[in-house]
């Protein structure tokens, strides 16, 4: 906690260009508006495919939900609904996965299907297939493509296909990787012959989300989303790779100065003064815990999904900001940091007009900024440890 705070010049320039007013109330309103836009961004993901392709299992796995929990999409039942079923993300309620009526039935008409399920409300489509590639997969992919919407074609239950192929071709010297290449090339070939060259195909198993192409699917969707939608998508992802944890940290890191400024100025303008910043910081830190899947509910869900003990996962969280938060603990951390940030605080008060207009503005902001930045580093390391323990991955030295 005694390290000197570093802040990039680009962040300082962003603050000085955005926050030109010297009126605290104006700046608070401005910063809160920016954060509200970020936190309220919506993302609607359509999940479609034939009955039995694992749509509900995908919806549950993407949300990190066990099939036996009340919020889960029902699995293993005959699909009869003609309505899209909405399932919100447990940590990011502005993200909704829509389980669409199945394709491949006599009632399915590719020409009218997208209009019937409400094409315009979805940001992109997930098309699931399993077992056999069929003509209506192509018809649906072409219909979506013609609307200008993105789709991601998923060959689900690939673990079962892999096992069956290896048993059937035992003695022919095929490796697992060679079988997966064959499956992928067959799917891509079918789409290409239908005029959908370059269509993205991902091989998945909803019960082994850390394996096969799920990490690649995550990174591809994140890369193709923009702005606030990309931000909320990243925060919703289950931690199945170190890259996901790092992406989350980077996404959250981009809003740290706004979070620190909101807490600093809101608290200073109340009768509690600088001490009023602590409850605001606790709210931010708890949101960080949820984003990294380190809150109690997320750890319990992960324990259920992976067959681990909740206590073992909980003990993998070792940072002070990853544990239960109290006002006393956060006030102590904040006080420690305030003593090391005098020079930085003076520099900021000269560069950012509003911080120089209130008593201790620079010191309080600098302390908040450093606390949140340090917490992100610590929580991302906690998330890495929990992920390795939950998935049984050895932790490299």
Q: What is the pLDDT of residues 178-192, one digit of tens each?
A: 888 988 888 888 888
Taking the C-alpha atoms of residue 390 and residue 7, their distance in angstroms, rounded to an integer, is: 34
What proportion of the chain, given as a percentage, has pLDDT over 90?
41
| Spatial contact of 284 and 263, defined as CB atoms under 8 Å apart | yes
Contact 21, 30 (CB under 8 A): yes
pLDDT of residue 3: 46
Residue 8 confidence class, pLDDT cut points 50, 70, 90 = confident
The mean pLDDT value for 159-171 works out to: 79
Q: Which of 161-175, 202-216, 313-327, 374-388 is the least confident region?
A: 161-175
| Dist CA 155 CA 184 (whole Å) | 8
| Cα 333 to the center of its chain, rounded Å | 28
Reported as a single tens digit per residue, the pLDDT across 139-158 is: 888 888 888 899 999 999 99
152 touches 200 (CB < 8 A): yes
Nearest to 261 by CA among 159, 372, 344, 173: 372
Query: Contact, 393 vs 316, CB < 8 A?
Result: no
Handedness of CA 20, 21, 24, 26 (dihedral sign): negative
Neighbours of 188 (CB within 10 A): 17
3-state SS of the chain is: CCCCCCCCHHHHHHHHHHCCCCCHHHHHHHHHHHHHHHHCCCEEEEEEEECCCCHHHHHHHHHCCCCCCCCCCCCCCCCCCCCCEEEECCCCCCEEEEECCCECCCCCCHHHHHHHHCHHHCCEEEEEECCCCCHHHHHHHHHHHHCCCEEEEEECCHHHHHHHHHHHCCCCCCCHHHHHHHHHHHHHHHHHHCCCCCCCEEECCCCCCCCCCHHHHHHHHHHHCCHHHHHHHHHHCCCCCHHHHHHHHHHHHCCHHHHHHHHHHHHHCCCCHHHHHHHHHHHHHHHHHHHCCCCHHHHHHHHHHHCCCHHHHHHCCCCCCCCCCCHHHHHHHHHHHHCCCHHHHHHHHHHCHHHHHCCCHHHHHHHHHHHHHHHHHHHHHHHHHHHHHHHCCCCCC
- What's the confidence (pLDDT) of residue 2? 39
Name the token pair of 307. Answer: 């067959």
Residue in 260, 159, 275 with CA at minimum distance from that of residue 208: 159
What's the chain's average pLDDT? 86
Which has more pLDDT, 258 or 23? 258
* pLDDT digit string, tens, across residues 264-273: 888 777 766 6
Which region among 13-22, 42-51, 88-97, 270-279 has the lowest average model confidence (pLDDT)? 270-279
Q: Cα 171–177–182 angle (5° rounding)?
A: 85
pLDDT at 196 over 80: yes
Number of alpha carbons in the 13 Å side-chain half-sphere of residue 171: 1
Q: Which residue has the higher pLDDT, 45 or 265?
A: 45
Nearest 5 degrees, angle CA 214-CA 218-CA 221?
130
**Biggest alpha carbon distance in the chain?**
78
**Structure confidence by residue, pLDDT tens digits, 337-349:** 777 777 778 888 8
Listed in sequence order, the residues at least 6 apart from 200 whose beta carbon sits closer than 8 Å to its beta carbon are 152, 153, 220
How far is Cα 141 from Cα 114, in angstroms, rounded to an integer? 11
Q: How far is CA 370 from the centre of its chain?
A: 24
Query: Over the stretch 49-108, which tens digit does the pLDDT of each residue have?
Result: 887 888 889 999 999 888 888 888 888 666 555 678 999 999 999 999 999 887 866 666
- Percent of the chain scoring above 70 in pLDDT: 92
**Crossing angle of helices 361-391 and 242-253, rounded to 10°:** 170
The pTM is what? 0.87
């Amino acid at each position: 906690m005694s390290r000197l705070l570093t802040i990039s010049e680009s962040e300082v320039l962003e603050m000085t260009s955005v926050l030109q007013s010297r009126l605290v109330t104006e700046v608070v309103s401005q910063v809160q508006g920016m954060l509200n836009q970020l936190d309220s961004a919506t993302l609607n993901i359509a999940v479609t495919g034939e009955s039995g392709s694992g749509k509900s299992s995908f919806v549950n796995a993407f949300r990190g939900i066990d099939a036996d929990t009340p919020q889960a999409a029902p699995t293993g039942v005959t699909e009869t609904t003609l309505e899209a079923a909405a399932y919100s993300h447990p940590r990011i309620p502005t993200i909704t996965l829509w389980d669409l009526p199945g394709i491949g039935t006599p009632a399915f008409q590719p020409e009218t299907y997208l209009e019937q399920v409400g094409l315009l409300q979805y940001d992109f489509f997930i098309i699931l297939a399993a077992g056999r590639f069929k003509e209506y997969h192509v018809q649906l992919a072409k219909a979506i493509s013609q609307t200008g919407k993105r789709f991601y074609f998923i060959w689900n239950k690939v673990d079962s296909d892999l096992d069956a192929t290896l048993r059937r071709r035992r003695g022919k010297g095929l490796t697992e990787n060679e079988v997966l290449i064959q499956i992928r090339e067959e799917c891509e070939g079918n789409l290409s012959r239908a005029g959908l060259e370059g269509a993205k195909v991902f091989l998945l198993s909803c019960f082994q989300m850390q394996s096969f192409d799920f990490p690649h699917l995550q990174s591809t969707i994140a890369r193709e989303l923009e702005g606030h939608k990309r931000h909320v998508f990243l925060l919703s992802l289950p931690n199945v790779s170190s890259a996901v944890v790092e992406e989350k940290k980077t996404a959250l890191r981009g809003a740290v100065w706004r979070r620190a400024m909101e807490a600093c100025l809101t608290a200073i303008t109340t009768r509690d003064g600088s001490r009023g910043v602590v409850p605001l910081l606790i709210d931010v830190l708890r949101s960080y815990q949820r984003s990294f899947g380190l809150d109690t509910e997320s750890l319990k869900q992960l324990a259920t999904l992976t067959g681990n003990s909740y206590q073992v996962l909980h003990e993998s969280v070792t940072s002070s900001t990853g544990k239960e938060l109290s006002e006393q603990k956060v006030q102590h951390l904040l006080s420690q940091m305030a003593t090391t940030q005098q020079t930085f605080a003076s520099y900021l008060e000269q560069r950012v007009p509003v911080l120089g207009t209130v008593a201790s503005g620079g010191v309080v902001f600098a302390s908040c900024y450093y606390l949140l930045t340090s917490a992100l580093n610590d929580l991302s390391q906690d998330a890495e440890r929990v992920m390795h323990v939950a998935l049984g991955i050895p932790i490299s030295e």
